[in-house]
């Protein structure tokens, strides 16, 4: 389908849409701002600030996702459950970028297809919560909804939803993007420099030798190809990196939604690839309404309670024309339920011939609490969900086109197990997350290697 044709069709579906038409629908998981004038003034300010990404980048990602749908690429999407303003710093950003780049190198090498790299960062500041309020010692306050809304301390002042935080989130996102872009442009992902690909504390890992052998092999291959070509291969200096976040706080997303010269339609220019969380994916809800009108590639989390019929209606709403690269379905069932819940969804989408990119979030269906009170996930369940996902897709004749993971480049102890067999006692050592537990650097790299072992070669 030509681009002009696709635009004409989607325009007819969205003639009744505006960036604020979501306001007429039930909007779950949104804060109640106490001061409507302050909110409106903040949105006006946000609308005037420069965007964080461009429509051109968004469309090039859409093209890459279309290729991933066809099995010509594999999507790696990962980062924190929630970014925080305090952790917008050099080490956290560069370590997270490093682990994602190293994982993508493992995947490219093992799966023999290019990887689409998408961070859960530069805007991942809003969180859905199981309750609107929290009560401690008889005092009830609004729940913490992420740094873009309020602050986690349990005081009235900290928990008051403050629209000015959206300006700060925009600025922090811009700083994060700027630093990631500078690192990449400055050679952080340059395959000519194997020293950038070193492992740091992970060099003691049981998987380190495999990884190091692979990096050395790639270095040799690069030198060989360049000798053969008689020139340096510039394309090995840098990589494409894209951003994503859960577009939960629609006041923020709306103010970042723009029409751009030389491209038809509306784009969310706060991120390349926004997604709708499981709790806000209702068919008649505000989030679906907002998402249907933007031209970005978008994704939806699909949990164990979604029926095949509901899923087909979500696809109709978000991708009525079956545009390639437009829609990702991120299933997050849990290792225990995936074999039961996923196949009927895969069959329905296949039967209807709908074009989607299937992605496995192996984190959110595997959250549990330990006897000593930590929210954690077991490495073996994360691994099992990914392995089952590959097998279930194969059995259904569909394709798993990517993985979605919560991870950090830090040496935290939040998920149990992995090569170093972290135990409940280890969780006390360096448990930092205020929301969901993340794979640490070593566990994340291990997952990449396990994917290759399952799928590659
Ligand atoms: C998340 O991605 O952090 C999240 C809350 O996921 P889900 O919507 O799948 O529960
Ligand atoms: Mn999470």
pLDDT tens readout for residues 249-276? 999 999 999 999 888 899 999 999 999 9
193 falls in which pLDDT band (50, 70, 90)? confident
**Ligand 1 pocket member 343 (CB < 6 A):** no
Q: Is 320 helix (H, G, I), strand (E, B) or coil?
A: coil
Rounded mean pLDDT of 52-76?
97
| CA dihedral angle for residue 319, residue 320, residue 325, residue 326, rounded to 10 degrees | -30
Give me ligand 1 centre to Cα 277, in Å.
Answer: 5
**Whole-angstrom distance, CA of residue 313 vs CA of residue 297:** 18
pLDDT at 413: 94
- What six digits make up the tokens of 82? 């929630």
Residues sharing a CB contact under 8 Å with residue 273, sequence separation 6 or more, in sequence order: 58, 61, 65, 77, 118, 242, 243, 244, 296, 297, 298, 299, 328
**Ligand 1 pocket member 194 (CB < 6 A):** no
Judge whether 436 is annotated as a binding position.
yes
Which residue has 């970014």 as its token pair? 83
Of the ligands numbered here, which is closest to the C-alpha atom of 439? 2
Q: Which residue has the higher pLDDT, 211 or 154?
A: 154
Of the ligands numbered here, which is closest to the C-alpha atom of 126? 1
Rounded mean pLDDT of 272-301?
98
pLDDT at 8: 44
Q: Could you tell me which of 310, 302, 304, 377 has the C-alpha nearest to residue 338? A: 304
pLDDT tens, 369-416? 998 889 999 999 999 999 999 999 999 999 999 999 999 998 899 999
pLDDT at 136: 96
**Whole-angstrom distance, CA of residue 365 vs CA of residue 331:** 9
pLDDT at 236: 64
Indicate the angle between helix axes 90-111 and 164-185, nearest 10 degrees. Answer: 50
pLDDT tens, 122-135? 999 999 999 999 99
Rounded mean pLDDT of 156-171?
98
Task: Select from 121, 277, 291, 363 the residue to mutate for testing ligand 1; criterion: most ligand atoms less than 8 Å from CB.
Answer: 277
pLDDT at 6: 46
pLDDT at 216: 79
Q: Averaging pLDDT over each range in 55-69, 103-117, 208-222, which range is the top one?
A: 55-69
pLDDT at 237: 65
**Ligand 1 pocket member 198 (CB < 6 A):** no
pLDDT at 194: 64
- What six digits make up the tokens of 96? 């997270």
142 falls in which pLDDT band (50, 70, 90)? very high
223 falls in which pLDDT band (50, 70, 90)? confident
Strand residues in 292-431 grouped as ranges (E): 298-302, 327-331, 357-361, 367-369, 375-377, 400-406
Structure pTM? 0.94
- ipTM here: 0.99
pLDDT at 2: 40
Among the residues of 120-203, which ranges form H helices? 156-159, 164-185
Task: Select from 81, 147, 288, 435 the residue to mutate for testing ligand 1; criterion: most ligand atoms less than 8 Å from CB.
Answer: 81
Q: Which atom of ligand 1 is nearest to the CA of 303?
A: 9
- Name the least confident of 180-184, 243-247, 344-348: 180-184
Rounded mean pLDDT of 170-188?
92
Q: Could you tell me which of 367, 298, 306 has the C-alpha nearest to residue 331? A: 306
- Name the least confident of 229-233, 309-313, 337-341: 229-233
Coarse DSSP helix, strand, coil percentages of the chain, rounded to the nearest 5 percent: 45, 15, 40
Q: Could you tell me which of 300, 299, 289, 297 has the C-alpha nearest to residue 268? A: 297
**Whole-angstrom distance, CA of residue 68 vs CA of residue 274:** 17
- Residues pairing with 119 in the sheet: 78, 243
Q: Could you tell me which of 282, 300, 293 has the C-alpha nearest to residue 349? A: 300
Of how many residues is the chain composed? 457
CB 108 within 8 A of CB 114: yes
Residue 420 burial (C-beta neighbours within 10 Å; 0-12, 13-18, 19+): middle
**Ligand 1 pocket member 278 (CB < 6 A):** yes
Mean confidence (pLDDT) of the chain: 92
Judge whether 120 is annotated as a binding position.
yes
pLDDT tens, 75-118? 999 999 999 999 999 999 999 999 999 899 889 988 989 999 99
Task: Select from 279, 385, 439 the residue to mutate for testing ligand 1; criterion: most ligand atoms less than 8 Å from CB.
Answer: 279
Residues sharing a CB contact under 8 Å with residue 246, sequence separation 6 or more, in sequence order: 124, 126, 127, 128, 274, 275, 276, 277
Give me ligand 2 centre to Cα 141, in Å.
Answer: 22
- What six digits make up the tokens of 168? 């700060």
Q: Averaging pLDDT over each range in 199-203, 344-348, 446-450, which range is the top one?
A: 344-348
- Name the least confident of 14-28, 229-243, 292-306: 229-243
- Residues pairing with 136 in the sheet: 139
DSSP 8-state secondary structure symbol assigned to residue 123: S
pLDDT tens, 313-370? 999 999 999 999 999 999 999 999 999 999 999 999 999 999 999 999 999 999 999 9
Rounded mean pLDDT of 53-66?
96
**Whole-angstrom distance, CA of residue 239 vs CA of residue 279:** 33
- pLDDT of 7 > 50? The answer is no
Rounded mean pLDDT of 437-456?
91
Q: Which atom of ligand 1 is nearest to the CA of 120?
A: 2
Residue 201 burial (C-beta neighbours within 10 Å; 0-12, 13-18, 19+): exposed
pLDDT at 213: 81
- pLDDT of 1 > 70? The answer is no
Q: Which atom of ligand 1 is nearest to the CA of 82?
A: 3
């Amino acid at each position: 389908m030509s681009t002009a044709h696709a635009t004409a069709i989607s325009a007819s579906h969205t003639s009744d849409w505006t960036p604020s038409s979501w306001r007429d629908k039930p909007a779950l998981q949104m804060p109640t701002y106490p001061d409507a004038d302050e909110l409106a003034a903040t949105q006006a300010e946000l609308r005037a600030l420069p965007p964080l990404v461009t429509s051109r980048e968004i469309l090039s990602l859409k093209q890459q996702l279309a290729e991933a749908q066809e099995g010509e690429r594999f999507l790696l999407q990962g980062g924190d459950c929630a970014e925080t303003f305090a952790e917008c710093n050099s080490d956290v950003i560069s370590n997270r970028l490093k682990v994602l780049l190293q994982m993508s190198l493992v995947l490219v090498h093992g799966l023999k297809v290019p990887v689409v790299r998408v961070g859960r960062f530069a805007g991942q500041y809003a969180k859905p919560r199981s309750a609107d309020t929290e009560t401690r010692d008889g005092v009830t306050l609004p729940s913490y909804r992420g740094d873009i809304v309020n602050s986690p301390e349990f005081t009235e002042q900290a928990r008051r939803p403050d629209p000015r935080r959206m300006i700060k989130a925009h600025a922090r996102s811009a700083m994060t993007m700027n630093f990631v872009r500078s690192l990449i442009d400055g050679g952080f992902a340059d395959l000519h420099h194997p020293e950038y690909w070193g492992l740091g504390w992970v060099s003691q890992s049981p998987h380190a030798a495999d990884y190091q052998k692979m990096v050395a092999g790639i270095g040799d291959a690069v030198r060989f190809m360049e000798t053969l070509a008689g020139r340096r291969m510039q394309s090995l200096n840098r990589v494409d990196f894209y951003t994503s976040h859960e577009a939960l706080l629609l006041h923020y997303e709306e103010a970042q939604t723009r029409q751009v010269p030389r491209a038809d339609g509306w784009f969310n220019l706060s991120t390349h690839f926004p997604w709708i969380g499981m709790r806000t994916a209702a068919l008649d809800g505000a989030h679906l309404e907002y998402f249907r009108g933007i031209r970005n590639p978008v994704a939806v989390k699909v949990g164990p309670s979604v029926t095949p019929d509901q899923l087909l209606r979500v696809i109709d709403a978000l991708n009525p024309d079956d545009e390639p690269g437009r829609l990702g379905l991120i299933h997050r069932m849990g290792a225990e339920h995936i074999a039961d819940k996923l196949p009927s969804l895969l069959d329905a989408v296949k039967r209807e011939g709908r074009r989607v990119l299937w992605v496995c979030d192996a984190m959110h269906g595997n959250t549990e609490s330990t006897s000593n009170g930590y929210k954690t996930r077991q490495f073996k369940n994360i691994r099992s969900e990914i392995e089952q996902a590959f097998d279930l897709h194969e059995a259904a004749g569909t394709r798993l086109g990517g993985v979605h993971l919560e991870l950090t480049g830090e040496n935290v102890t939040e998920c149990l197990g992995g090569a170093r067999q972290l135990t409940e006692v280890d969780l006390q050592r360096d448990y930092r997350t205020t929301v969901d537990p993340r794979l640490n650097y070593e566990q994340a790299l291990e997952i990449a290697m396990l994917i290759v072992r399952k799928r590659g070669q």
